[in-house]
């Protein structure tokens, strides 16, 4: 019998009393806070307020129309503006929803061929950065606010008067904006001793250097996961954080879907030292130490070369282990793709060598289209540090680069910057560098800025402001124009730049509407550039191979630094939506931690939450199945000390552990110094909550079994269907009957849907302590289950399942509500009327899916009673409340809430159809989770419409419902997960029948 | 209500005059050791107040100021500028300008109604002093009467008296009288409590004062302007849309004088338009925040006439909330209103279409297609 489990405790001890982890003491002491005096106070208050209510008239409300009503702005009707998300990591074309003048939601731009409307959790959450009170509000000099005129004049004067023997350095984040590049070029012309250095929060220097050796240009080529039938990844978390995860997820799932009569799946083999999001989606997973990664690549190179009769290189030592992988690569030939997340140039050279042998260059890798992200170079940064220390740098202008946090060696940067005469920080955040710089020039948020982006060469997109700057900020182009002394607005500059340089390259032409207007409306433009096609110049890899093979193996423990999917490089670390988003692998939020394998934890005697210290950085232990037993992994991007409205440092910055001299940044290191502190720390984890007690909630099969019988792994569905009988009358749906399908094969667990749901439905942030008490409010969660034994990391498999309200036809919640606050609609929706709910939580108790959420406090400022308020994340301030969706009620304390199938969107689209006098088009309604999903794993539609996609999916033999044996008849259905493996997966999961 | 109707302005005037006479005598004495009281500011203020309120006549056949320039608004539209409006503008006028406006206004509506006023310079100055004071001190709170509350208390007193008489004093011999009084009293109290509780948070009949005396009767009634001309969003959005000054100026760029209000009200609009300041209209129809109502659904898809919910707006000078806008009112209407079933959107309702064709039904009501589901309005 195959066993599914969610946590180590559950695996070992079986399912325990779920209440055991509840900290009753805290609850009791919290409850005691309300003293007898408080009780009397609030009792008196309520009596008085009832009296006042009864005697007074309602407050007078004003209705103030716009002075001059612009034609395209209608009260209560949203407008969408095309723009681009880019804050230093990936770039995603977006549409911004603006209601009555304020941006309230970000969607993906469906016309983008790269993403097709997909987003990531970070893209969804970036909206909140606009309403961040901690942003710098005015230009400042030595922390005193000054005017823009003075700031511009002073900085310009200082630059003009800089001695000729001193260099000035413009330290930027990677600039992917063509217009901004042109401005920097102008600055270089004006100041010949100006040097631009690029700093990335996460270095891809090794990859660029490798391609510089191979094709003569330091490029990152585009990878085409949609063209690959076999993907071999060495630690590249391409579904989570590597390069363009949203684009790659979209490409990856093209070959992972079976819902359209497809009979083929791509195969994904993953080598890594810890459990990453991408690794957890792989068909085969090799767990290796990071110090051996290069040797595995080398061994694979040798095996592939040997089979093709090509000369082999130095021995890697793992040839036998990768023999089978090499064979599969040779079978797939040019339809294979090998990628590596290593920042070691030599490893990347070998990977490129394998791809060249297989013919992947030109097929799954396009050398002629570059990814322009991450242009940083590690050695240039080290040179910069040196020259700062020597005092040869006269001026340092930091442009959105935040070196005080992002520099690999931030400690020595802080020393170095003291030797620089003029320091300017151009930033949209109140970041760590601001406190070290003389001048701080506040840049606008990207939703307030004019700009453009070219993340992949030839694929341009525009950034346009959707609101006037909230504070006295200017967009980056405007700041650079000011420094150049040019008297032109950033819009005019951008327009002119595009008219002159970009639009003429485009092939699209419309004689009636200007290309500029078309582009501004669509947000996107693809251009063809006359560039010399690149080809592989150098294939001599012997020196790379000898370097890799001579690398010493580390015997002891190793530490891996990775970027977590929610927080990433830490740029948006002060975003409560992202902090509260559980990591897709560990399901922990609000902290980083040292992940160790169960074997290592046993060996060292660590338990979950024991605080250990590695080189004086103290973090709690998290027991993570799937890690190599000699590997500890830890997330970057935490420990940011930027000031916020409520200054709190979340987690610890672990970058100091990875400082290495002269070899570029390596994100793994040997652990020299490890100590127990004897203290414990409770991590806020959503992992052991919502246990479904070993029932057949996730069903999976292998591709070979699926091809024999499409219903394999789902045999029990037919059995259960036969047994259905009910005491209740069957609901009759005369019009629509809404249904949602979730394809477990497409879902990668990236969590974009969770944040999309939070933003759309005003889901509150409850903070670390409330999550510890299982009070998280997310309407949509992604359950994660492990299969196989935890002590065998290679065989460990992960399945994920998004769970929201299942909108049962026989809903157990509905018939226990004493006040009929939750009822069934005529369209199959399980309705929740908040204003009727009295908070008995009977429905919550009776829901078998545990998808109902109770408002223990007022988190968003929904009512005016201060004692009800609990706002650990500062989400109820006037400014932050502007992000709330006016189409969804802000729930008050004491009511239950849950997924509504985005009823506001259903109502909107139905009304659109009615006013147009047309039947509702299938696919017109997209729920927030569906729209945000980069993998398009979620489908929503009308089951009563025979032609709809969901009606077709109803007939799919892979269809099953959660706990369908309970005969709740959910409207949400799942499609079984099919793995591309040979072995026969246990078709009969453990199944308890309830009499 | 009737009990209080005896307190008419006439009676108040008697009381006031008596009071004033008393205060006059004391003040006359107190001012002996300074300069003459009839030159003091206090005196001018007092005389100005009396002139304005009509306690001292302003001349033959000339109504007192307050009879047109009321301090408080009533149930009917008062087209003339209120006392407070005049008080606020008096500072910007010098003595001669003010005098000419009162005694001999140049033209228009005001020239007709101010005909015959011939106040002396002293009187003009006194009224000015009063108006200036009014401008800084305000008109105070509108006197209210609570007939319901009074009735409640009177009935309560009656019952208490009946109870006392029943148990102790025993003036009335027939116990039936006591019991009857108490029974009727309890019924009246319960009924009032129920009506009060049910009406809590509802505001049927709400007709607040607006910053500009805009009359729907003039615009929609007399001039027959289509509702959608101003409420431009009613067919497309949730909110019907309130026209901004820009839209008003489409007509008022030419129409600068109203037949009832003269120039004064339209001047306010023009001022807002030219200075770019917001007009803070008072919202009349309010729904609770947890209700999502869409005008487009009702006006456009449902083809419901505006009047059905808003009443005969074209006959209202001051806009009034005609219905209580309660949930019961909504649901009742949904049960009785036919769906525009010819709309192609409803083609999916096969069963209803065949029932209609067979004659098993003659119409489809909104409630039949789920209009009364909770999440049609609450989400």
- Say if residue A270's pLDDT is above 50: yes
A33 versus B206: which is more confidently predicted? B206
Helix (H, G, I), strand (E, B) or coil at A459: strand
pLDDT, mean over chain B = 83
Given a contact cutoff of 8 angstroms between Cβ atoms, the answer to whether A404 and A431 are in contact is yes
pLDDT at B163 over 70: yes
Residue B58: CB atoms within 10 Å: 20
Strand A167-172 to strand A194-198: parallel, antiparallel, or no bridges (unpaired)? parallel
Rounded CA separation A374/A677 (Å):
38
The answer to whether residue B252 scores a pLDDT higher than 90 is yes
How does pLDDT run across A334-347, given as a tens digit for each residue? 899 999 999 888 99
Is the minimum CB–CB distance between B194 and chain A shorter than 8 Å? no
Same domain, A515 and A661: no
Query: What is the spatial distance between Cα B350 and Cα B331, in angstroms, rounded to a whole number?
Result: 25
pLDDT exceeds cutoff 70 at A687: no
Q: Are A503 and A516 in contact (CB under 8 A)?
A: yes
Interface predicted TM-score (ipTM) over 0.85: no
B232 to A944: CB separation less than 8 angstroms, yes or no: no
Summary mean pLDDT of chain A? 87
Q: Which two tokens stand for residue A516?
A: 């500029």
CB A241 within 8 A of CB A249: no
The fraction of chain B above a pLDDT of 70, given in percent, is 90
Average pLDDT over residues A594-619: 91
* CA nearest to A67, candidates B11, B361, B281: B281
Do residues A475 and A396 both lie within one domain? yes
Nearest chain B residue to A892 by CA: give it. B290
Identity of the residue in A65, A825, A913 whose CB atom sits nearest the CB atom of B242: A65
**Neighboring chain A residues of B235 at a CB cutoff of 8 Å:** 915
Specify the pLDDT at position A143.
87
Predicted local confidence at residue A51, as pLDDT:
54
Q: Which of residues 61-90 of A touch B (CB under 8 A)?
A: 61-69, 74-77
- Asked whether A879 and B307 are in contact (CB, 8 A), the reply is no
Residues of A (831-850) whose Cβ lies below 8 Å from B: 831-836
B299/B291 Cα distance (integer angstroms): 17
Examine the domain organization and report whether A567 and A652 are in the same domain: yes
Residue B20 CA, chain-centre distance (Å), reads 32
**Which pLDDT does position A690 carry in this prediction?**
39
By percentage, how much of chain A surpasses pLDDT 90? 52
pLDDT band at A262 (very low <50, low <70, confident <90, very high): confident
Q: Above 50 in pLDDT, residue A410? A: yes
Residue range B89-101: average pLDDT? 82
pLDDT at A582 over 90: yes
Element (H, E) at A145: strand A144-145
pLDDT of res. B345 = 92
Judged by CB atoms closer than 8 Å, whether chains meet at A827 and B286 is answered as no
Q: Please enumerate, as own/partner, the contacts of B50-56 that have beta carbons within 8 Å and a separation of 24 or more.
A: B50/B20, B51/B119, B51/B123, B51/B126, B51/B127, B51/B130, B52/B83, B52/B127, B52/B130, B52/B131, B55/B13, B55/B16, B55/B17, B55/B20
Contacts of B144 (CB under 8 A, 6+ apart): none
- Among A472, A505, A522, the domain-final residue is A522
In a domain, A757, yes or no: yes
In the predicted structure, residue A995 carries a pLDDT above the cut 70:
no
Query: Would you say residue B12 has pLDDT above 60?
Result: no
How high is the pLDDT of residue A643? 63
pLDDT at A985 exceeding the cut of 80: no
Q: What is the CATH number of the domain that holds A280?
A: 3.40.228.10
Q: How far is B82 from chain A (nearest CA, A)?
A: 20
Task: Please choose, from the candidates B46, B105, B45, B49, the residue with its C-alpha nearest in 3D space to the C-alpha of residue B80.
Answer: B105
d(CA A7, CA A786): 8
Query: Across-strand partners of A426?
Result: A399, A441
Portion 109-148 of B in contact with A at CB < 8 A: none
Band of residue A23 on the pLDDT scale cut at 50, 70, 90: very low
Q: How confident is the model at residue A25, as a pLDDT?
A: 42
Q: How confident is the model at residue B139 (pLDDT cuts 50, 70, 90)?
A: confident
> What digits encode the pLDDT tens for the residues A873-918?
888 889 999 999 999 999 999 999 999 999 999 999 999 999 999 9
Strand A365-370 to A144-145 pairing: unpaired
| Residue A888 forms contact with B (CB below 8 Å) | yes
Q: Which of A522, A542, A565 is the last residue of a domain?
A: A522
Q: Do B348 and A829 touch (CB under 8 A)?
A: no
Which residues, in sequence order, are CB contacts of A861 under 8 Å at separation 6+?
Answer: A869, A871, A876, A881, A890
Q: Does B297 touch chain A (CB under 8 A)?
A: yes
The CATH number linked to A456 is 3.40.50.740
Is residue A537 very low, low, confident or very high in pLDDT (cuts 50, 70, 90)? confident
Q: Domain range spanning residue A227?
A: 205-370
Residue in A54, A67, A918 nearest the CB of B276: A67
Beta-carbon contacts of residue A64 (< 8 Å; ≥ 6 apart): B242, B278, B279, B280, B281
A325-337 average pLDDT score: 91
**Which band of pLDDT confidence, cut at 50, 70 and 90, is reported for residue A259?**
confident
Answer whether residue A68 is part of any domain.
no
pLDDT at A103: 95
Closest CA to A804 of A748, A858, A854, A754: A754
Contact yes or no for A967/A848 (Cβ under 8 A)? no
pLDDT of B25 > 70? The answer is no
Query: Which CATH number fits the domain that encloses residue A660?
Result: 2.40.40.20
- A572, A484: one domain: no
Residues A713 and A846 in one domain: yes
Q: Is the pLDDT of residue A650 over 90?
A: no
- Kindly report the backbone phi and psi dihedral angles of residue A802, in degrees, each rounded to the nearest multiple of 5, phi listed first: -70, 130
Which residue is associated with the tokens 């552990």? A657
| Residue B375 at interface with chain A, using a CB cutoff of 8 Å | yes
Check CB contact under 8 Å for A76 and B247.
no
Considering the domain architecture, whether residues A620 and A699 belong to the same structural domain is answered as: no
pLDDT tens string A829-866:
999 999 999 999 999 999 998 899 999 999 988 887 77
Give pLDDT tens digits for A181-202.
999 999 999 998 899 999 999 9
- For residue A994, is pLDDT > 70? no
Contact B180, B162 (CB under 8 A): no
Dihedral over alpha carbons B182, B183, B186, B189 (to 10 degrees) = -100
Q: Of B68, B52, B225, nearest to B126 (Cα)? A: B52
Report whether pLDDT(B28) > 60. no
pLDDT at A556: 87
Q: Is pLDDT of A27 > 70?
A: no
Mean pLDDT of A783-801: 82
pLDDT band at A33 (very low <50, low <70, confident <90, very high): low
- Quick one: pLDDT at residue A554? 73
Is the pLDDT at B57 greater than 90, yes or no? no
What is the mean predicted confidence (pLDDT) over B316-320?
91
CA distances for A520 relative to A70, A175, A383, A474, A528, angstroms: 19, 20, 40, 20, 19
Q: Are A679 and A707 found together in one domain?
A: no
Specify the pLDDT at position A938.
95
Q: Are residues A147 and A184 in the same domain?
A: yes
Highest-pLDDT range among A91-100, B36-45, B164-173: A91-100
- Pairing mode, strands A91-99 and A102-108: antiparallel
Partner residue opposite B280 with nearest CB, options A62, A66, A888: A62
> In terms of pLDDT, which residue wins out, A324 or B41?
A324
- Cross-chain Cβ contact A903/B201 below 8 Å: no
Res. A53: pLDDT tops 70: no
**pLDDT over threshold 80, residue B338:** yes
pLDDT, residue B1, reads 39
Q: Answer whether residue A253 shows pLDDT above 90.
A: yes
Average pLDDT over residues A523-548: 81
Please give, one letter per residue, the 3-state secondary structure of chain B.
CHHHHHCCHHHHHHHHHHHHHHHHHHHHHHCCCCCCHHHCHHHHHHHHHHHHHCCCCCCCCCCCHHHHCCCCCCCCCCCCCCHHHHHHHHHHCCHHHHHHHHHCCCCHHHHHHCCCCCCCHHHHHHHHHHHHHHHHHCCCCCCCCCHHHHHHHHHHHHHHHHHHHHHHHCCCCCHHHHHHHHHHHHHHHHHHHHHHHHCCCCCCCCCCCCCCCCCHHHHHHHCCCCHHHHCCCCCCCCCCCCCCHHHHHHHHCCCCCECCCECHHHHHHHHHHHHCCCCCEECCCCCCCCCCCCHHHHHHHCCCCHHHHHCCHHHCCCCCCCCCCCHHHHHHHHHHCECCCCCHHHHHCHHHHHHHHHCCCCCCEHHHHCCCCHHHCCC
Q: What is the CATH number of the domain that holds A901?
A: 3.30.70.20
Give the residue-averaged pLDDT of A924-940.
94
Among the partner-chain residues B200, B203, B282, the one whose CB lies closest to the CB of A62 is B282
Are A196 and A319 part of one and the same domain? no
* Shared domain check, A179 and A222: no
Query: In terms of domains, do A766 and A799 share one?
Result: yes
Q: How far is CA A176 from the centre of its chain?
A: 20
Cβ-contact A878, A751 below 8 angstroms: no
- A681, A763: one domain: no
Q: What is the pLDDT of residue A645?
A: 52
Full-model pTM: 0.87
Across residues A272-287, what is the average pLDDT?
A: 92
pLDDT in tens, A810-821: 999 999 999 999
- Interatomic CA distance for residues A77 and A98, integer angstroms: 9
């Amino acid at each position: 019998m195959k066993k599914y489990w969610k946590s180590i405790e559950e695996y070992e001890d079986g399912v325990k009393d779920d209440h055991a982890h509840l900290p009753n003491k805290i609850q009791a002491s919290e409850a005691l806070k309300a003293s007898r005096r408080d009780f009397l106070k609030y009792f008196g208050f309520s009596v008085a307020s009832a009296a006042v209510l009864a005697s007074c008239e309602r407050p007078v409300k004003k209705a103030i129309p716009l002075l001059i009503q612009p034609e395209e702005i209608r009260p209560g009707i949203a407008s969408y503006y095309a723009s681009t998300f880019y804050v230093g990591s990936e770039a995603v074309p977006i549409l911004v929803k603006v209601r009555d003048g304020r941006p309230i939601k970000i969607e993906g731009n469906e016309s983008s061929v790269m993403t097709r409307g997909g987003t990531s959790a970070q893209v969804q959450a970036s909206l909140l950065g606009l309403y961040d009170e901690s942003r710098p509000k005015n230009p400042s000099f030595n922390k005193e606010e000054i005017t823009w005129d003075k700031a511009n004049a002073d900085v310009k004067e200082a630059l003009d008067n800089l001695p000729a023997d001193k260099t000035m350095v413009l330290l930027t984040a990677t600039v992917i904006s063509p217009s901004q590049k042109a401005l920097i070029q102008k600055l270089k012309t004006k100041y010949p001793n100006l040097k631009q250095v690029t700093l990335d929060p996460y270095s891809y220097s090794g990859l660029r250097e490798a391609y510089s050796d191979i094709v003569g240009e330091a490029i990152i080529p585009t990878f085409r996961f949609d063209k690959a039938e076999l993907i071999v990844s060495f630690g590249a978390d391409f579904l989570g954080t590597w390069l363009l995860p949203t684009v790659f997820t979209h490409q990856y799932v093209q070959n992972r879907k079976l819902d359209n009569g497809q009979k083929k799946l791509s195969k994904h083999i993953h080598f890594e030292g810890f459990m990453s999001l991408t690794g957890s989606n792989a068909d085969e997973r090799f767990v290796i130490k990071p110090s051996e990664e290069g040797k595995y690549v080398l061994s694979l190179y040798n095996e592939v070369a040997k089979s093709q009769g090509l000369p082999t290189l130095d021995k890697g030592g793992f040839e036998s282990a990768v023999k089978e992988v090499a064979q599969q690569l040779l079978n797939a030939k040019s339809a294979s793709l090998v990628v590596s997340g290593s920042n070691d140039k030599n490893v990347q050279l070998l990977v490129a060598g394998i791809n060249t042998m297989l013919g992947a260059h030109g097929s799954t890798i396009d050398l002629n289209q570059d990814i322009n992200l991450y242009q940083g170079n590690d050695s240039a940064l080290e040179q910069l540090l040196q020259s700062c220390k020597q005092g040869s740098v006269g001026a340092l202008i930091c442009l959105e680069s935040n070196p005080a946090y992002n520099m690999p060696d931030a400690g020595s940067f802080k020393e170095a910057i003291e030797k620089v005469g003029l320091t300017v920080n151009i930033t949209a955040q109140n970041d760590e560098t601001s406190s070290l710089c003389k001048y701080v020039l506040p840049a606008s948020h990207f939703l307030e800025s004019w700009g453009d982006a070219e993340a992949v060469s030839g694929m341009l997109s525009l950034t346009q402001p959707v609101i006037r700057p909230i504070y006295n900020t200017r967009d980056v182009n405007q700041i650079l124009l000011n420094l150049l002394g040019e008297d032109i607005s950033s819009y005019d500059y951008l327009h002119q730049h595009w008219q002159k340089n970009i639009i003429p390259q485009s092939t699209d032409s419309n004689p009636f509407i200007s290309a500029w207007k078309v582009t501004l409306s669509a947000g996107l433009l693809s251009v063809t550039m006359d560039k010399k096609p690149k080809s592989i110049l150098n294939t001599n890899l012997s020196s790379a191979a000898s370097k890799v093979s001579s690398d010493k193996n580390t015997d002891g423990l190793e530490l891996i630094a990775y970027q977590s999917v929610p927080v990433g490089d830490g740029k948006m670390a002060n975003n409560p939506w992202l902090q509260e988003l559980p990591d897709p692998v560990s399901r922990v939020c609000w902290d980083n931690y040292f992940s160790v394998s169960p074997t290592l934890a046993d060996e060292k005697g660590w338990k979950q939450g024991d605080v250990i210290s590695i080189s004086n950085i103290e973090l709690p232990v998290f027991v993570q199945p799937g890690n190599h037993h000699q590997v500890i992994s830890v997330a970057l991007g935490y420990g940011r000390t930027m000031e916020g409205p409520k200054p709190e440092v979340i987690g610890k910055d672990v970058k100091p552990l990875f400082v290495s001299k002269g070899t570029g940044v390596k994100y793994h290191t040997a652990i020299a110094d490890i100590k127990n502190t004897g203290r414990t720390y409770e991590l806020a984890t959503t992992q052991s909550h919502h246990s479904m007690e070993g029932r057949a909630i996730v069903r999976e099969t292998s591709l070979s079994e699926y091809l024999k019988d499409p219903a394999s792994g789902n045999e029990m569905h037919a059995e259960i269907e036969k047994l259905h009988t009910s005491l209740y009358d069957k609901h009759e749906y005369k019009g629509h009957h809404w249904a949602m399908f979730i394809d477990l094969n497409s879902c990668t667990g990236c969590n974009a849907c969770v944040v999309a749901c939070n933003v759309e439905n005003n889901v509150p942030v409850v903070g670390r302590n409330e999550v510890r008490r299982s009070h998280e409010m997310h309407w949509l969660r992604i359950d994660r289950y492990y299969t196989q034994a935890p002590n065998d990391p290679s065989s460990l498999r992960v399945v994920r399942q998004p769970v929201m309200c299942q909108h049962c036809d026989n809903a157990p919640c509905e018939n226990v509500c004493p006040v009929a606050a939750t009822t069934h609609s005529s369209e199959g929706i399980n309705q929740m009327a908040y204003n009727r709910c009295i908070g008995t939580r009977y429905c919550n108790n009776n829901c078998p899916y545990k998808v109902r959420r109770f408002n223990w406090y007022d988190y968003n400022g929904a009512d005016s009673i201060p004692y009800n308020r609990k706002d650990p994340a500062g989400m109820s301030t006037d400014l932050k409340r502007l992000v709330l969706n006016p189409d969804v009620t802000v729930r008050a304390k004491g009511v239950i809430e849950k997924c509504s199938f985005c009823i506001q969107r259903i109502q909107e689209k139905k009304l659109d159809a009615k006013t147009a006098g047309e039947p509702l088009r299938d696919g017109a309604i997209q729920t927030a989770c569906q729209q945000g999903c980069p993998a398009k794993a979620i489908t929503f539609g009308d089951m009563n419409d025979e032609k709809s996609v969901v009606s077709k999916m109803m007939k799919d033999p892979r269809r099953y419902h959660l706990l369908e044996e309970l005969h709740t008849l959910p409207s949400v259905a799942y499609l079984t997960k099919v793995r591309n493996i040979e072995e026969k997966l246990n078709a009969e999961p453990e199944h308890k029948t309830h009499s | 209500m009737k009990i209080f109707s005896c307190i008419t302005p006439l009676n108040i005037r008697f009381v006031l005059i008596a009071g004033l006479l008393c205060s006059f005598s004391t003040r006359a004495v107190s001012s002996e050791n300074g300069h003459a009281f009839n030159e003091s500011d206090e005196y001018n203020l007092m005389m100005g107040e009396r002139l304005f309120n009509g306690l001292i006549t302003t001349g033959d056949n000339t109504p007192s100021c307050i009879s047109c320039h009321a301090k408080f608004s009533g149930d009917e539209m008062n087209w003339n500028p209120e006392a407070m409006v005049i008080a606020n503008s008096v500072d910007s006028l010098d003595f001669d300008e003010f005098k000419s406006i009162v005694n001999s206004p140049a033209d228009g509506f005001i020239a007709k109604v101010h005909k015959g006023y011939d106040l002396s310079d002293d009187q003009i100055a006194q009224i000015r002093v009063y108006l200036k004071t009014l401008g800084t001190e305000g008109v105070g709170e509108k006197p209210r009467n609570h007939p319901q509350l009074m009735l409640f208390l009177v009935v309560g007193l009656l019952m208490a008296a009946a109870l006392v008489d029943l148990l102790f004093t025993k003036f009335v011999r027939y116990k039936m009288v006591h019991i009857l009084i108490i029974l009727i009293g309890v019924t009246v109290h319960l009924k009032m409590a129920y009506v009060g509780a049910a009406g809590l948070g509802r505001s049927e009949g709400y007709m607040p004062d607006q910053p500009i005396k805009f009359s729907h009767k003039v615009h929609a009634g007399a001039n027959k302007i289509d509702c959608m001309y101003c409420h431009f969003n009613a067919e497309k959005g949730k909110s019907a849309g309130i026209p901004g000054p820009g839209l008003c100026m489409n007509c008022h760029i030419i129409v600068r004088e109203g037949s009832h209000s003269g120039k004064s009200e339209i001047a306010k609009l023009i001022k807002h338009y030219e200075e770019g300041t917001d007009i803070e209209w008072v919202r009349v129809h309010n729904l609770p925040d947890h209700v999502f109502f869409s005008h487009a659904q009702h006006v456009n898809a449902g083809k419901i006439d505006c009047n059905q919910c808003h009443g005969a707006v074209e006959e209202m000078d001051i806009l009034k909330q005609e219905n209580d806008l309660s949930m019961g009112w909504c649901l009742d209407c949904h049960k009785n209103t036919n769906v525009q079933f010819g709309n192609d959107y409803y083609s999916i309702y096969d069963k209803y279409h065949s029932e209609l064709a067979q004659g098993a039904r003659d119409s489809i009501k909104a409630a039949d297609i789920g209009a009364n589901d909770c999440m049609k309005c609450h989400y």
